[in-house]
Each structure stands twice: as structure tokens, then as C-alpha cells.
Structure 1
Amino acid sequence: MRILHTMLRVGDLDRAIRFYTEVLDLKLISRKDYPEGKFTLAFLGFAQRDNGVQGPGAEIELTYNWGVERYELGSAYGHIAVEVDDAYEACARVKARGGKVTREAGPMKHGTTVIAFVEDPDGYKIEFIQRKAA
């Protein structure tokens, strides 16, 4: 078994796609409307799919339910974690592209791993975890 994707419900699909592609550099892999169900699905990832088959990396599925502009995130959701080469540089890039950094890069509490948090337009948190030197 392996994780294929994480689904997030978004209030503005185009805005969410812009954030994940232009601020975090994910690639839009597919986008499909389901008129009978009144929803649209968009899949994004860091790797492209081969022949339409989901590749080795996990993806994010953005679900837009037509006419729903906002969701309550609840208290159970945590975050998505992304490994980065340099968390400080990744935060600077997010800010330069108009993104929101909610926790600047630095060592985690009670540890040495360098982390940071950013927030997407719908309020979902994304953690940057700096790759440890070999």
C-alpha cells in the first residue's frame, strides 16, 4: 500500500490552483468537471503521471463543490508536510509570491529539525521540513 492523495475542499478552485502551482510549484496534473454531481476535481503533484496512472509521489486533490464558497476546517485537521532543501529560502519564495507564512523557518520546539508553516487561501496549513544534510 501507499498513499495516493489527500483531498481538500476549496471555495475557489482557480485561486487554490494558482496558490499550489505558482506559490508552491506543484504541477496541475488533471482537472475534470462532474456536472451531474455539481463538483470539479483537480489533482496536483510534484511529479507528472505516466500514461494517466498516478505516479510514485502523493498528490493533492482539490475538490470544488459548485456553489460552496467556504468550509469550516474543524479542529482535527493538522497539515500537509512537504520536504524542502532550505526552509528559510522556501519561506522567502512564498512571501515573494504573495503567500502567507504563519511560522517562520527555524528549529522545531524541543528538537533540531528546521520547519516552517505556510497557509493556503482556504486556511489549510502546509509544513515545510528542511531536508537534513547527508
Structure 2
Amino acid sequence: MRILHTMLRVGNLDRSIDFYTQVLGMRVLRRQDYPEGRFTLAFIGYQEESEGAVIELTHNWDTGQYELGTAYGHIALEVGDAYATCEQVKARGGKVVREAGPMKHGTTVIAFVEDPDGYKIEFIQRAT
């Protein structure tokens, strides 16, 4: 068994795709409209689906916004330099909600950004 993808419901698919591709550097792997069901699925990631886990963005055409709830945590991405990655995100118009620095009660360097729908993405700096 392996993890295939994580699904996020988004209110504006184009805005979300722009964030994940332009701000975080992922690419659209596939996208399909389902007119009878009134939804679109877009799969994005850094690798092909056969090589690693990806994110499925689900856009229900009649829903412009979702409540995130209190159970959702975050998606974690490994980065080489969390400080530099935060600066790149800000330069590309992204929102850093926790600047890079050591985690509480530890030494691992982390940071958090937020996508257009409010989902949190954690950057974990690769140990050297």
C-alpha cells in the first residue's frame, strides 16, 4: 500500500491552481470536468502520480467557500531552506502565517503558509 493523494475542496479552482503552481512550484498533472456532477478534479504535485503522493483539488461548481473545521491540520513539504522558501512565497504573493524558525520544544526548522482557501502548508527544513 501507499498514499496516492490528499483531497482538498476549493472554492475557486483557478485561484488554487495558481497558488500551488506559481507560489509552491507544483504542476498540474491532470484535470477533468464532470458536468453531470457539476464538479472538476485537478491533480497537482511535484512528481508523477506513479512516483509519489499528490494533491487532488476538488471544485464543486455550486460551492464558493468551505468551512475548514477543527480536525484538519496541514500538509507538510520538505524544503532545503525554510527561510529562503518563505521569502520566495512572499515574493510570489503567498501568505506566510508562521515565519521560519525552530519548532517549539525542538530544533527542527519549520514554517507555515496558507493557501487561498485557508489550508495550512508546513515547510520542514531538510536536516543537513
| TM-score normalised by structure 2 residue count | 0.99
Cα deviations by residue, 1:72-98 (Å, 9 ceiling, x for unpaired):
000000000000000000000000000
1:36-65 residue CA offsets vs partner (Å, 9 max, x unmatched): 111000000101x3xxxx222110000000
Which residue type is aligned with residue 17 of structure 2? I
1:31 is matched with: 31
Quote the sequence identity (%). 73
Give runs of aligned pairs for residues 1-134 of structure 1, distance below 5 A.
1-47=1-47, 49=48, 54-133=49-128
Ranges in structure 1 where 5+ consecutive residues have no aligned partner: none
Please give the root-mean-square deviation of Cα atoms over the aligned residues, in Å: 0.5
Q: CA deviation at 1:25?
A: 0.2
Q: CA deviation at 1:10?
A: 0.2
Q: Report the Cα offset of residue 35 of structure 1.
A: 0.7
Measure how far apart 1:26 and its partner are: 0.4
Counterpart-to-counterpart distance in 1, 2:65 and 2:112: 22
What SS does structure 2 have at the residue aligned with 1:17?
A: helix
- What's the CA shift for 1:69? 0.3
Output the CA distance in 2 between the equivalents of 1:82 and 1:57. Answer: 13
Number of aligned residue pairs: give it: 128
Q: How far apart, in 1, do the equivalents of 2:87 and 2:110 lie?
A: 13
Separation in structure 2 between the aligned mates of residue 65 and residue 105 of structure 1, nearest angstrom:
34
Measure the CA separation in 1 of the matches of 2:123 and 2:41. 25
How far is the alpha carbon of 1:34 from its aligned partner?
Answer: 0.4
After superposing on structure 2, the runs of 4+ consecutive aligned residues of structure 1 that deviate more than 6 Å are none
TM-score, normalised on structure 1? 0.94
